[in-house]
Amino acid sequence: MNRFALGTAVAAIALVAFLNVPGNTQSAGGAAPAAKSNSDTYRQLNLFAEVFERVRSDYVEEVSDETLVESAINGMLTSLDPHSSYLNAKNYKDMQVQTRGEFGGLGIEVTMDDTPAAKAGIKPNDFITNLDGEPVAGLTLPEAVEKMRGLVNSPIKLTIRREGRDPFDVTLTRAIVKIQSVKSHLEGDNIGYIRITSFNEQTDSGLQNAVKNLKQQAGNKLVGYVLDLRNNPGGLLDQAIAVSDAFIERGEIVSTRGRRSEDAQRYNARAGDITNGLPIVVLINGGSASASEIVAGALQDHHRAVLLGTKSFGKGSVQTIIPLPGHGAMRLTTARYYTPSGRSIQAKGIEPDILVEPAKIEKVAQAAIRHEADLRGALKNTDKAAAQPSGDAPANVPPGTTPAAPAEKGDASSVDPLVLGTAEDYQLARALDMLRGVALFNGRALN
């Protein structure tokens, strides 16, 4: 048997296997339509076999059959949508490690803090053009990632292109990158700040621990929470459901609808709210995607939180990881997800309830202003209550400051990861103002 005949035979075997898979019935209209469909499939597989054999025999350099087949499979999957792909055995293993919450490398996904990339000042939407002087043009993403991995403490030089400046080099030292997907701290002494950077297997337990610790630190003073989902690219669906469930007492969290109506699924909340009903502000931006949007959409539809920031990314599809024994796995888009009100945010994103664009907080010079207390002979205030502060200044905004001109609307790249959750975080400052305003209003309403 010659090579072409062998390739055709392989294609035929693949077809037989395909036709024997349950659910792959080609037509319900009788034998004739099914036979015609099968004939069309044979013809297409013969085309593949012909191209496969021609590449094996005539390409300028010898290429292994494994490489050709993997590339063909990946090409088929990536042509479907941006999120379907083939994972060879190594990439599948790497993916499993990442979803568990720990991996080795540079931490070049700069939505993560405390990584070599973040510490070196690399920002979202930076383009890596060279690795150790070698151009990355023509490399696939897995190939580029492989080149960036290496021994811990070994250096690598990246050439970065950033809008508005000339290309520049950054030398990083490889390190073990652990994804601490939930981080928290108290703002003042009465607002809990919780940031979720990704949704991995540790996220739900991390959230539970964060809320528990915040309650212990604040005692009975907590008046609300900020849930920061900015620059969070998503992750595991079950973790997004668990996080949403933590804040919602009852009702639907999300539904998924696939190709067949019988595959539709709905996920509902169980009784219990770990915050005991305190107000929540959720921060989102153009870097909030997928699982982040599930959480934001659920809390928004249930009127459980106010969404503040800029429009989210708009990834409303669900990918299923299907293991391929002995080879790796395929990541296949199998469904769209919908918020509790039935919204699909695919390619649309979630609009915040209050639009607050990124900005910088800068001091503004002010001329000296005299007050009544500065006048000679001014009467003193004898009210003891006057010694107390008349009210909190806006959170994280020093007296005499005003925000600079906001950055471009919805531009996730304008949000520096190192600023998130700090005193220079303008969007966080607005969220804190809102929660303190609500707390002040509720306090007055009770009096």
**Do residues 78 and 85 make contact, with C-beta atoms less than 8 angstroms apart?**
yes
In a domain, 278, yes or no: yes
SS3 340: coil
Residue 290 annotated among the catalytic residues of the structure: yes
Query: Could you read off the pLDDT of 384-434 as tens digits, one per residue?
Result: 655 544 444 333 333 333 333 333 344 444 577 888 999 999 999 999 999
Number of domains comprising the chain: 3
Q: What would the mean pLDDT of 160-179 be, rounded to a whole number?
A: 85
In a domain, 153, yes or no: yes
What letter would DSSP give residue 199? Answer: B
**Do residues 273 and 246 make contact, with C-beta atoms less than 8 angstroms apart?**
yes
Three-state DSSP string of 147-189: HHCCCCCCEEEEEEECCCCCCEEEEEECEEEECCCEEEEEECC
Question: Which one is catalytic: 198, 228, 315, 425?
Answer: 315
**Do residues 311 and 287 make contact, with C-beta atoms less than 8 angstroms apart?**
no
Question: Which one is catalytic: 290, 292, 312, 414?
Answer: 290
- Are residues 264 and 160 part of one domain? no
Q: What is the predicted pLDDT for the residue at 37?
A: 76
Q: How far does CA 9 lie from the centroid of its chain?
A: 44
In a domain, 81, yes or no: yes
**Do residues 159 and 129 make contact, with C-beta atoms less than 8 angstroms apart?**
yes
SS3 255: strand
Domain encompassing residue 285: 182-355
Q: What would the mean pLDDT of 318-329 be, rounded to a whole number?
A: 93
- Higher pLDDT: 405 or 245? It is 245
- Are residues 186 and 170 part of one domain? no
Share of the chain above pLDDT 70, in %: 78
Going by C-alpha positions, the residue among 126, 147, 176 that lies closest to residue 417 is 126
In a domain, 224, yes or no: yes
Beta strands at 224-228 and 191-196: parallel, antiparallel or unpaired: parallel
Of 98-107, 127-136, 171-180, 406-415, the range with the lowest mean pLDDT is 406-415
Give dist(CA 116, CA 114) in Å, integer: 7
- Are residues 244 and 307 part of one domain? yes
- Are residues 251 and 137 part of one domain? no
In a domain, 231, yes or no: yes
- Are residues 159 and 84 part of one domain? no
Q: Which of 114, 149, 178 is the last residue of a domain?
A: 178
In a domain, 300, yes or no: yes
Considering just the CA atoms, what is the radius of gyration of the chain in Å?
28
Residue 301 annotated among the catalytic residues of the structure: yes
- Are residues 115 and 53 part of one domain? no
Give dist(CA 292, CA 308) in Å, integer: 14
Q: What is the predicted pLDDT for the residue at 385?
A: 55
Going by C-alpha positions, the residue among 361, 357, 423, 417 that lies closest to residue 123 is 417
Mean residue pLDDT across the chain:
83
Residue 263 annotated among the catalytic residues of the structure: no
Q: How far does CA 123 lie from the centroid of its chain?
A: 15
- Are residues 187 and 168 part of one domain? no
In a domain, 208, yes or no: yes
Give dist(CA 376, CA 249) in Å, integer: 60
Q: Which of 178, 194, 226 is the last residue of a domain?
A: 178
Residue 295: exposure state from Cβ atoms within 10 A (0-12, 13-18, ≥19) = buried
Going by C-alpha positions, the residue among 83, 74, 78 that lies closest to residue 289 is 83
- Are residues 249 and 317 part of one domain? yes
- Are residues 132 and 279 part of one domain? no
In this predicted structure, the answer to whether residue 103 has a pLDDT above a threshold of 70 is no
Residue 218's domain is classified under what CATH number?
3.90.226.10
Going by C-alpha positions, the residue among 323, 227, 240, 332 that lies closest to residue 283 is 227
Share of the chain above pLDDT 90, in %: 55
Going by C-alpha positions, the residue among 99, 40, 113 that lies closest to residue 422 is 113
Question: Which one is catalytic: 113, 228, 301, 425?
Answer: 301
- Are residues 309 and 292 part of one domain? yes
User: Which residues are 202's β-sheet partners?
Assistant: none
